[in-house]
Each structure stands twice: as C-alpha cells, then as structure tokens.
Chains A and B, each alone.
Chain A
Amino acid sequence: MATGMDRLETSVYHHVRPEIISALAANLDDPFAEVEKQPTRYAYAEAIIELGERNPDVVVLDADVAKSIKTHEFAQRFPERSFNFGIAEQNMMAAAAGMATTGLIPYASTYAVFATMRALDQVRNSIHYPGLNVKIAASHGGITPGPDGVTHQAQEDLSIMRSIANSTVIAGADSPSTKLAVWAAAEWDGPVYLSFTRDPVPFLFDLDYPFEIGKAVTIREGTDATIIANRDIVCQSLIAAERLARKGVSVRVIDCHTVKPLDVETILQAAEETGAIVTGESNVINGGLGSAVAEVLVENFPIPMKRIGVRDVFAESGPYLEVIKKYGVSSEHIVDAVEEVVARKG
C-alpha cells in the first residue's frame, strides 16, 4: 500500500502554494494548523488602500465595524474618502447608492448579516434595481464567525444575494484571491457583493492567481469526481481530496469564487470528465453555490451530485473549526459525500 507521501503528486495542483501542498503531504488530521492564515476581511482592508491610491473615485463606507474589518486603516490614509455612518446600515447602503449616481465607487462595509438582511431592501431597491456601481464588502460571511453565534453568522448571504437580479456575488477562498476580487470589483460596472471570512483561512494561492469574475479555477486535477467549493470551504475541499487520494479516488477541486455569474462551462466540463459532483460551502444548501450548480446539472447534464452546506438549521457559538464540523461542512463530510456520489456513478 502506498504511503501518503508517495501518492501526493504535486503536479495535480494548479496555483496552490507549495507550503499548502507539503502541509497536505505531512499530515491530514489538521494539515493547516501551522500554515500562514488570515481572515479574508483583512485582505479586503489591505486591498482597498492600494485601490484608493490608484483610483480617487474609490470611497469606503463603514457602519461601526471598521476596527473589526480594519477599514479604519483606509480612514487613516484617506480621511476625506472615508465615511463612518455609525450603527445605521440601511442609511449607509442607500447613501452608497446616491454616491454611485455621481460617479464615485463606494465600498460599503459591514458584517454580511447586516449587509444582506438588515439593509436588504436598500440593497435591492436602491442599489441593484438601478444597477448602481456599489461594492458591498461584507465580512463574517457564512458561518465563519464561530464564537459570536447565530446573530452574526450569515449562513444565507450567498443565497440571498444570488436571488437578486443584476447581482454579482463573490466569495474568495483566501487572502490573495480576495484582494484580486476587491480590485476586479472596481473594474466591474455595476453592483458587486464580496463575502469575506471572519475567522482565519490559509493562504492557498499567490497574487498571480488567475482571478477573473465569473471564471472558476481548477486548482487540483482529478478524474473520479469533482468538488466545487468557495470561500472557507475550498481549503476543506483540498483536505478532502487528499484524503480521498489516499483511498485511491482521484478528485478534481474547483474554486468557484464567483457564485453569480456562474462559470457554467467549467462546471459542465467537470461533470462530463469526472461524472460526479459535490459542492461545498459554509452557506445553507438552499440557494447558494450548491443550488446554482444543481440547477446547471439538472438542466444540462444530470449526474450524481451532493451538496455540502448547512441543512435547514441555525448553527451556534463555538470555535470556528468545531462549528463547521458540527454543522456538516468540514472535510470529513466532503469525503463522505464524494464516496457516495462515486458509488452512485455505477
């Protein structure tokens, strides 16, 4: 029986940092314990300063969580282009819409629960309906805010935002790809929703990552099944794929950072070439990435598929990694799901 080290083929990876690949080779129980990690909200805070340097039309709006997201650093650098609205998310979103009508590019920052739920009416009627050029920068996406509990866990953010006409919905897997997303959003004409993590995730990629809005990236080759994941579940998918490799199952992994517009072509190609698909997200299974992929498969190329996501339940407070385990979205659950769909291929 081959050992993990023998089986681990670096050539199957694309764009994944060597540190990540060797961490996966060394230990599959908790491979990312020692690798460099960062909450992607901080990547946004860094990226927005660089963007502010380049583009004088960029303004940052906050709602009293600037110190948490670290956009107060933008405020220090560009005080005249920073607006803290206090704890008043609805006012912030509609004001962002107004600013966008004059040619500014507002990045409206708050937690995802408040961006997509408290201020949803403003987000729909004042930003998306008129198609205004507002970027909604939402931290604490999915169930990434472990300890804060349900009121701060936006397990519906991707579903809600995907359902709105004119929306573009992005959930980057790590800090470098999140920075690229923040920059790409500025070039995109129209509203963009960006979902960041509250808890740290590993640096999986570098800044040469081929990030393009609407283009999913195959980050691991495989032939027996494909895992399509986003945000914090991409790193869980890499762990799952490596565990499956040791059991002789060859799994492709796709970072589907853009939930909308969905990269139908890459998904259908994976479906045709691997014949089984599992989706992974720390969002509810209703309406998010899993639903989006299922819709494409059902209408075009029905094959065995399973969605990993939060199943019709509110999560709870706890350390992030324990929370995703308890609520069914960690690498173990992905492994089981892949084995199930591969078995169903017949």
Chain B
Amino acid sequence: MPQSPMSVEELKRMAATIRCDIIEMVHIAGSGHPGGSLSATDIVTALYFRVMRVDPKNPDWPDRDRFILSKGHACPVWYAALAERGYYDKSHLGTLRQLNSILQGHADMLKTPGVDMTVGSLGQGFSAGLGMALSGKLRKKDYHVWVVIGDGEMQEGAVWEAAMAGAKWKLDNLTTILDLNGLQNDDFVDDIMPIHPVPDKWRAFNWHVIEIDGHNMDEVVSALETAKTIKDKPTIIVAHTVKGKGVSFMENVAAWHGQAPTVEQMDQALAEICQQVGR
C-alpha cells in the first residue's frame, strides 16, 4: 500500500507541486478559494505524504487515519493532495466545479475518493471529526483523526462545543490543526471578530497546544508526529500561516480568499512557486 514516508526535502517539493495544482485548478474552474488552500498546503502535504496511515487504493479501509478539511472551501488543496497521492487521476483536477465532476465546489464524501467527510458549512467538520474519534475509542481502533480548521471558522460557536467535548472524552486520537492565517472572507480576523489569545483559549478548554510556523516543514512534521504521542487530551496544533503562501501577490490579501487567477496571474504564480524549490 503506502509509499514510504517522504523526507522533509521531498515534502517541500511535493508541497510546491500541490501549490501549482491549486493555482491551475482554480484558474480553470474560474472560481474557488486559492488563499486558504495555499496556507494549508504544507500541513496537508505532510499529513498525506508522511504522517497519515492511509491507502489510496483502498480509500474506505476501516482502519485508515481520517482527515477532514473542516474549512471546506479550501478543498483545492485536498483535491490536489489526493490526486498526487494516487486516489484518482490528476486529469480530474481540471473539472473542479463543473457539472458532473467528482470535485464539487465544497468537498463531498459521496463523490470524491479519499474525502472522509462532506464539508462546506464552517464549524461542522470539526464535530464530525470528534464523532469519528469517539467511534475509534468505542471500537478500540488505533486510527487517528486529523482535522484542519480555519481561524475565521473558530468564530462559530459549534467549534467551542466540540472543543469542550473533545476534552471531556480525552480524545487523544484527535488532532486539530488551526490554520492561523489571520484573514477570513471579509477582512483580517482581528478586524472582523477578534479571536486572540488563541493558545490560551484552547488551553483553557483543556487541549494540549503546540504552536508552530505552519510553513516550516520540519516544524510541521515534528508537531504532527508529537501530537500522536500526547495522551489523555486532544491536541491542537496552532499553525501560524500566511494566506496565499507562495504567491507574492496573493499573500496576506483578503481579496484572494475567493477569486480565480487570470492566465497572466497564473503564469506568474507558477513561476514563483517553481523558483522557491529551485526548479
């Protein structure tokens, strides 16, 4: 089944490939969410190519680790990672958001192999991950559940309902990664509805907190691997990230939350990403 886990250097190159896929697919679709896809790319890459126990040829394997991108609008990063990992052919990436595609505007577990939960309404994927972790405990399974949430998403009350429950049931088989990119749809999170102090809030909810630079692949890998060893508590990895990471004109710009690049913008973005990995 699994390919051997990638080295950090290989992961960096894979992340660059996935960033290119994201840019191309959103361009072709003509709509979609590049900013939050790019901020989560290093995390999702490390999970699929090193940390998670999955088998692309057997996406429904009951003992697989579960992954949920609760900030479901960023599904281009998920779709690209699944294609690169071999769940389906890369040609599907060009069909994003088109009629009859397996790649819906927000991820759909009935249509896309490897998608463990239907998402798109913010705050719900996190609770679904909690449910999967509870089942794992009940049935004495050793799979791990990984959930990525957004910092805007953290404003949903339901996130805090799940946070309380995760601590109550001591779900050490659940790890949440917070993509702390500082932006939401309308503007900076600090201007729309401040959420700080983030690590203190999660500590107060009795979660184990690890803070990292979400674009430093060494830190990403080591945090994910550490999270699996923490006992009797769920872990949240607070990943400081940059929305639009890797594309200069998209970085930290609210407008790139949900907008497709033009051909010229795509070409520039692809060139910049290649340059960063020396290609």
**Chain A residues numbered 291-346 whose CB sits less than 8 Å from any CB in chain B:** 316-319, 322-323, 326
Determine which of A65, A86, A151, A322 lies in contact with B121 in the assembled complex, contact meaning CB atoms within 8 Å: A151
- Assess whether B152 is in contact with A87, with CB atoms less than 8 Å apart: yes
How many angstroms from the CA of A271 to the CA of B100 in the assembled complex?
39
> Count the A-B residue pairs with Cβ separation under 8 angstroms: how many?
97
Q: Is A62 an interface residue (CB 8 A)?
A: yes
- Closest CB-CB distance, A125 to chain B, in whole Å? 16
- Assess whether A318 is in contact with B97, with CB atoms less than 8 Å apart: yes
**B98: A residues at CB distance < 8 A:** 317-319
How many angstroms from the CA of A306 to the CA of B105 in the assembled complex?
32
- Assess whether A152 is in contact with B120, with CB atoms less than 8 Å apart: yes
Interface centre among A62, A86, A323, A326 (most CB of B within 10 A): A86
Which residue from chain B places its CB closest to the CB of A322 in the assembled complex? B99
Q: Is B60 an interface residue (CB 8 A)?
A: no
Which residue from chain A places its CB closest to the CB of B118 in the assembled complex? A151
Determine which of A62, A67, A114, A147 lies in contact with B105 in the assembled complex, contact meaning CB atoms within 8 Å: A147
How many angstroms from the CA of A88 to the CA of B192 in the assembled complex?
11
A87-B152, A90-B157, A317-B97 known; A150 and B184 CB under 8 Å? no
- Assess whether A88 is in contact with B157, with CB atoms less than 8 Å apart: yes
Q: Mark interface residues in B107-125 (1 if CB within 8 Å of A CB, else 0).
A: 0100000000011111100
- Closest CB-CB distance, A310 to chain B, in whole Å? 15
**A148: B residues at CB distance < 8 A:** 31, 105-106, 120
Q: Is B193 an interface residue (CB 8 A)?
A: yes
Which residue from chain A places its CB closest to the CB of B31 in the assembled complex? A147
How many angstroms from the CA of A124 to the CA of B187 in the assembled complex?
30
- Assess whether B106 is in contact with A84, with CB atoms less than 8 Å apart: no
Determine which of A87, A113, A323 lies in contact with B184 in the assembled complex, contact meaning CB atoms within 8 Å: A87
- Closest CB-CB distance, A140 to chain B, in whole Å? 12
**Chain B residues numbered 189-227 whose CB sits less than 8 Å from any CB in chain A:** 189, 192-193
**A317: B residues at CB distance < 8 A:** 97-99, 101, 104-105
Q: Is A10 an interface residue (CB 8 A)?
A: no
**A151: B residues at CB distance < 8 A:** 72, 105-106, 118-121
- Closest CB-CB distance, A247 to chain B, in whole Å? 29
- Assess whether B105 is in contact with A66, with CB atoms less than 8 Å apart: no
**B187: A residues at CB distance < 8 A:** 67
A147-B105, A151-B121 known; A88 and B72 CB under 8 Å? no
Q: Is B165 an interface residue (CB 8 A)?
A: no
**Chain A residues numbered 78-137 whose CB sits less than 8 Å from any CB in chain B:** 84-88, 90-91, 113-114, 118
**A67: B residues at CB distance < 8 A:** 185-187, 254
Q: Is B65 an interface residue (CB 8 A)?
A: no
Q: Is A260 an interface residue (CB 8 A)?
A: no
- Assess whether B97 is in contact with A84, with CB atoms less than 8 Å apart: no
- Assess whether A147 is in contact with B97, with CB atoms less than 8 Å apart: yes
How many angstroms from the CA of A66 to the CA of B184 in the assembled complex?
11
Which residue from chain A places its CB closest to the CB of B257 in the assembled complex? A67
Q: Is B10 an interface residue (CB 8 A)?
A: no
- Closest CB-CB distance, A128 to chain B, in whole Å? 21
Where chain B touches its partner, the secondary structure class is loop
- Assess whether B192 is in contact with A84, with CB atoms less than 8 Å apart: yes
- Assess whether B106 is in contact with A86, with CB atoms less than 8 Å apart: no
- Assess whether A323 is in contact with B99, with CB atoms less than 8 Å apart: yes
Q: Is A149 an interface residue (CB 8 A)?
A: yes
- Assess whether B157 is in contact with A91, with CB atoms less than 8 Å apart: yes
- Closest CB-CB distance, A300 to chain B, in whole Å? 40
- Assess whether B193 is in contact with A86, with CB atoms less than 8 Å apart: yes
How many angstroms from the CA of A9 to the CA of B100 in the assembled complex?
40
- Closest CB-CB distance, A73 to chain B, in whole Å? 12
**Chain B residues numbered 1-53 whose CB sits less than 8 Å from any CB in chain A:** 29-32
- Assess whether B192 is in contact with A149, with CB atoms less than 8 Å apart: no
How many angstroms from the CA of A90 to the CA of B99 in the assembled complex?
32
- Assess whether B153 is in contact with A87, with CB atoms less than 8 Å apart: yes
How many angstroms from the CA of A281 to the CA of B270 in the assembled complex?
43
Which residue from chain B places its CB closest to the CB of A87 in the assembled complex? B155
- Assess whether B120 is in contact with A88, with CB atoms less than 8 Å apart: no
- Closest CB-CB distance, B27 to chain A, in whole Å? 14
- Closest CB-CB distance, B204 to chain A, in whole Å? 19
Q: Is B156 an interface residue (CB 8 A)?
A: yes
- Closest CB-CB distance, B32 to chain A, in whole Å? 8
**A113: B residues at CB distance < 8 A:** 121
- Assess whether B120 is in contact with A149, with CB atoms less than 8 Å apart: yes
Q: Is A68 an interface residue (CB 8 A)?
A: yes
**A150: B residues at CB distance < 8 A:** 104, 106, 108, 120
Which residue from chain B places its CB closest to the CB of A66 in the assembled complex? B186
How many angstroms from the CA of A72 to the CA of B187 in the assembled complex?
10
**A90: B residues at CB distance < 8 A:** 157
- Closest CB-CB distance, B125 to chain A, in whole Å? 11
How many angstroms from the CA of A65 to the CA of B258 in the assembled complex?
11
Which residue from chain A places its CB closest to the CB of B121 in the assembled complex? A151
Q: Would you list 22 pairs from A and B whose C-beta atoms are within 8 A, ordered by A residue?
A: A62-B186, A64-B184, A64-B186, A66-B186, A72-B186, A84-B186, A86-B152, A86-B155, A88-B157, A91-B157, A148-B105, A150-B104, A151-B106, A151-B118, A152-B106, A152-B120, A316-B104, A317-B98, A317-B104, A318-B98, A322-B99, A323-B99
Binding site for A on B (CB under 8 A): 29-32, 72, 97-101, 104-106, 108, 118-123, 152-153, 155-157, 184-187, 189, 192-193, 254, 258
New A-B contacts (13) at CB < 8 Å, excluding given A67-B254, A148-B31, A316-B99: A65-B185, A66-B186, A68-B185, A84-B193, A86-B152, A87-B185, A91-B157, A150-B120, A152-B120, A317-B105, A318-B100, A318-B101, A323-B99
Binding site for B on A (CB under 8 A): 62, 64-68, 72, 84-88, 90-91, 113-114, 118, 147-152, 316-319, 322-323, 326
